[in-house]
């Protein structure tokens, strides 16, 4: 039943968006189709969405008596009272989108509910026509033509067709990723651009980014503090040149959120260089009471009741996986993947069970083991064209038009997995088999093994080893602190002091001996042993400097990284002569991990194959 929100309810809804671009029309209408419980959604656009946008779904449909109301402002079937604003389980809730789209376009809605006939109703520039019988299956078709035909000013501000189209493609990729159980077909000017088959996240990821992407990712699933974090994150060597390869879905809604993005970025900080961005497709599922979706005009961000918990959970899960510490095993999804059956999905909360839109339940209500079972799925071969990449606005996705058959895709997956297995074997070498053969330029250590030689940057490798060791010590609360001969007194401004004061216990827990020292000063009389040679002044300036940007973040989390990277400065520099014994000790400590990177993301080991040398000497061609 669609009803009109009373003024006291809609006045509490964050000012809705102005539909100002074709992609926002697509976004709103696809959200409606999802809310209607559809599991098959087709999106067609022409002329960058300016000429035509047509969304067809097989959802619950709209009863003919409700049809006129879809065009009315504040008309919604998803929300009745203001209280419900605090537990929204649908993508839409404002009852505004269709009305505002209809006021600036030529729109028609054709819909059929279960057991009824199909009807259609047009609306041109906000003027509604007559309900007429129509043909159609169960579900709804929303057609939007000549967007902004009656608002030339807005039309003028649109970008070129190609750019509008690329923004729509962008949002469609996110929908495909966010709802891997829904079949999507997305066509541009009559040609299929994306097609997904509703067969799970791995397949959806392959549909959007290409099958090889999965092989460069860790699949994770972690339950922490009643929050579930799951999805795919790129490995340490898989970085992107911009942020467009980052997707976060909070309770199934695509959002861009500062807290989560800071947490992920910091977890990757020691693996990626400047201007390298991690790849991720992450789902954050949490009880709807602790996330406010009613904060952003485009519903493009959310507010968490507690940013620290979110930051801490995301950061600790991702850094555990990247650092490969023991908890990583708990978070990594591996082994036999099973298809998630629709019926096995998380049961909807009672309050939303009555609504068809709640078919995409989001509240984790299960044990960790169950949750894990839920998200584990088969690496079902993709059946659709594999689009290798997407997104940089000037770089529209390339679609392989020919559809590979099942066998071919299975081969690709098998091949990828073989490659990965080999790669991980290659990168992990039994240290005993590495023969130390000397050094070059007092910087690169040479180790021979079988048919190749590894060049190890002594500084980069040493840095990483110290970093890992210290991070581990901090985590295990086993930092050795070392008293200073002359205590260091740090004088800061009132605001910084208030912060430090609160954080003294954290500092002390991490191996400092710091105390208030009158006024706005803090006296440090012992430091973690690994830090004894660093400049405390720049260390603290660095910490206080990052607080501005990461106000909501636990100091302990920042400190862990800062401490470790400060300690790296004590690492052997390039140019220092190592004794043979030291060189051997270094390689022992790497445990043969030749995929090692320094904490700033530079590789610490480079492999040169014998064949490559032989090519240089033209022994082979």
- Minimum distance from residue 5 beta carbon to Mg ion (Å): 13
Please state, in angstroms and rounded to a whole number, the distance separating the CA atoms of residues 546 and 557: 12
Q: Which residue is nearest to ligand ADP (CB)?
A: 92
Ramachandran bin of 335, using left for φ above 0, alpha for ψ from -120 to 50, beta for the remaining angles: left
Is the Cβ of residue 41 or residue 456 nearer to ligand ADP in the bound state?
41
Name the DSSP letter for residue 105.
S
Chosen residue from 22, 49, 59, 92 binding Mg ion by CB under 5 A: 92
| Distances 239 to 65, 217, 387 between C-alpha atoms, Å | 52, 11, 18
Is the Cβ of residue 79 or residue 534 nearer to Mg ion in the bound state?
79
Please state, in angstroms and rounded to a whole number, the distance separating the CA atoms of residues 479 and 473: 5
CB–CB of 563/528 below 8 Å? yes
Site residues (CB under 6 A) for ligand ADP, limited to 81-120: 92-99
Q: State how beta strands 106-112 and 75-76 pair.
A: unpaired
Chosen residue from 21, 78, 462, 560 binding ligand ADP by CB under 6 A: 78
Is the Cβ of residue 59 or residue 180 nearer to ligand ADP in the bound state?
59
Residue 97 near Mg ion by CB under 5 A: yes
Site residues (CB under 6 A) for ligand ADP, limited to 391-410: none
Locate 465 and state its tokens: 């080893």
Is the Cβ of residue 27 or residue 228 nearer to Mg ion in the bound state?
27
- Minimum distance from residue 41 beta carbon to ligand ADP (Å): 9
Altogether, the residues listed in the chain come to a count of 621
Q: State how beta strands 280-285 and 246-250 pair.
A: parallel
Is the Cβ of residue 103 or residue 565 nearer to ligand ADP in the bound state?
103
Chosen residue from 9, 13, 19, 70 binding ligand ADP by CB under 6 A: 70
Please state, in angstroms and rounded to a whole number, the distance separating the CA atoms of residues 542 and 27: 41
- Minimum distance from residue 29 beta carbon to Mg ion (Å): 8
| Binding footprint of ligand ADP, residue count (CB under 6 A) | 25
Q: Which residue is nearest to Mg ion (CB)?
A: 92
- Minimum distance from residue 24 beta carbon to ligand ADP (Å): 12
Residue 170 near ligand ADP by CB under 6 A: no
Q: Which residues pair with 482 in a beta bridge?
A: 527
- Minimum distance from residue 92 beta carbon to Mg ion (Å): 3
Site residues (CB under 6 A) for ligand ADP, limited to 10-69: 28, 32-33, 35-36, 57, 59-62
- Minimum distance from residue 280 beta carbon to ligand ADP (Å): 28
Is the Cβ of residue 93 or residue 279 nearer to Mg ion in the bound state?
93
Is the Cβ of residue 38 or residue 376 nearer to ligand ADP in the bound state?
38
Neighbours of 31 (CB within 10 A): 20
Is the Cβ of residue 97 or residue 310 nearer to ligand ADP in the bound state?
97
Strands across the sheet containing 513-516: 481-491, 521-528, 513-516
Please state, in angstroms and rounded to a whole number, the distance separating the CA atoms of residues 510 and 16: 47
Is the Cβ of residue 58 or residue 374 nearer to Mg ion in the bound state?
58
CB–CB of 470/480 below 8 Å? no
CB–CB of 260/282 below 8 Å? yes
Element (H, E) at 569: none
Site residues (CB under 5 A) for Mg ion, limited to 26-45: 32
Site residues (CB under 6 A) for ligand ADP, limited to 129-168: 140
Contact partner, 2, from ligand ADP, Mg ion, none, Cβ < 5-8 Å per class: ligand ADP
Please state, in angstroms and rounded to a whole number, the distance separating the CA atoms of residues 448 and 607: 10
Of residues 280, 279, 226, the one with CA closest to residue 251: 226
Please state, in angstroms and rounded to a whole number, the distance separating the CA atoms of residues 221 and 230: 4
Q: Interface residues with Mg ion (CB under 5 A)?
A: 32, 92, 97
User: Which residues are at the interface with ligand ADP (CB under 6 A)?
Assistant: 2, 28, 32-33, 35-36, 57, 59-62, 70, 75-78, 92-99, 140
């Amino acid at each position: 039943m669609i009803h009109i929100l009373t003024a006291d309810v809609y006045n509490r809804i964050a000012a809705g968006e102005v539909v100002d671009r074709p992609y926002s029309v697509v976004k709103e209408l696809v959200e409606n189709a999802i809310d209607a419980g559809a599991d098959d959604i087709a999106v067609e656009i022409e002329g960058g969405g300016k000429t035509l946008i047509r969304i067809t779904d097989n959802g619950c449909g709209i009863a003919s008596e409700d049809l006129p109301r879809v065009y009315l402002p504040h008309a919604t079937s998803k929300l009745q009272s203001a209280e419900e604003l605090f537990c929204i389980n649908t993508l839409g809730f404002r009852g505004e989108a269709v009305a505002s789209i209809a006021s600036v376009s030529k729109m028609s809605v054709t819909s059929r509910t279960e057991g009824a006939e199909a009807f259609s109703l047009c609306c041109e520039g906000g003027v509604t026509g007559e309900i007429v019988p129509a043909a159609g299956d169960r579900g709804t078709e929303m057609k939007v033509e000549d967007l902004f035909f009656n608002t030339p000013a807005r039309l003028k501000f649109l970008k070129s067709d190609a750019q509008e189209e690329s923004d729509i493609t962008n949002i469609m990729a996110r929908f495909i990723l966010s709802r891997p159980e829904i079949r999507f077909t997305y066509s541009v000017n009559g040609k299929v651009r994306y097609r997904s088959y509703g067969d799970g996240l791995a397949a959806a990821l392959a549909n959007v980014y290409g099958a090889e992407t999965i092989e460069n990712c860790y699949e994770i699933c972690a339950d922490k503090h009643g929050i579930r974090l799951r999805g795919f994150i790129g490995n340490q060597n898989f970085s992107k040149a911009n942020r467009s390869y980052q997707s976060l879905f909070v309770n199934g809604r695509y959002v861009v959120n500062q807290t989560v993005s800071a947490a992920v970025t910091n977890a990757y900080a020691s693996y990626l260089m400047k201007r390298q961005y991690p790849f991720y497709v992450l789902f954050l599922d949490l009880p709807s009471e602790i996330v406010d979706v009613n904060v952003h005009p485009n519903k493009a961000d959310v507010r968490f009741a507690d940013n620290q918990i979110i930051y801490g959970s995301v950061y600790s899960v991702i850094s555990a996986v990247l650092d490969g510490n023991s908890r990583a095993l708990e978070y990594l999804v591996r082994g036999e993947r099973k298809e998630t059956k629709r019926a096995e999905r998380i049961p909807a909360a009672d309050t939303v069970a009555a609504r068809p839109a709640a078919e995409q339940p989001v509240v984790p209500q299960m044990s960790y083991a169950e949750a894990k079972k839920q998200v584990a799925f088969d690496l079902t071969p993709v059946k659709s064209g594999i689009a290798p990449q997407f997104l940089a606005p000037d770089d529209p996705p390339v679609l392989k038009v020919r559809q590979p058959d099942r066998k071919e895709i299975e081969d690709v997956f098998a091949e990828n997995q073989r490659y990965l297995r080999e790669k991980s074997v290659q990168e992990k070498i039994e240290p005993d088999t590495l023969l130390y053969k000397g050094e070059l330029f007092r910087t690169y250590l040479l180790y021979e093994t079988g048919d190749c030689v590894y060049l190890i940057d002594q500084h980069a490798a040493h840095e990483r080893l110290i970093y890992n060791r210290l991070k581990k010590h901090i985590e295990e609360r086993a930092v050795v602190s070392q008293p200073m001969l002359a205590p260091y007194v740090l004088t800061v401004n009132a605001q910084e002091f208030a912060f430090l004061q609160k954080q003294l216990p954290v500092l002390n827990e991490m191996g400092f001996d710091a105390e208030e020292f009158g006024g706005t000063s803090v006296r440090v009389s012992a430091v973690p042993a690994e830090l004894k040679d660093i400049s405390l002044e720049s260390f603290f300036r660095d910490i206080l400097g990052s607080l501005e940007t990461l106000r909501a973040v636990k100091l302990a989390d920042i400190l862990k990284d800062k401490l470790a990277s400060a300690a790296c400065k004590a690492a052997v520099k390039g140019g220092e002569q190592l004794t043979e014994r030291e060189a051997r000790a270094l390689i022992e400590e790497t445990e043969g991990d030749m995929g090692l990177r320094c904490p700033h993301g530079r590789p610490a080991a480079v492999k040169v194959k014998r064949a490559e040398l032989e090519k240089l000497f033209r022994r082979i061609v």
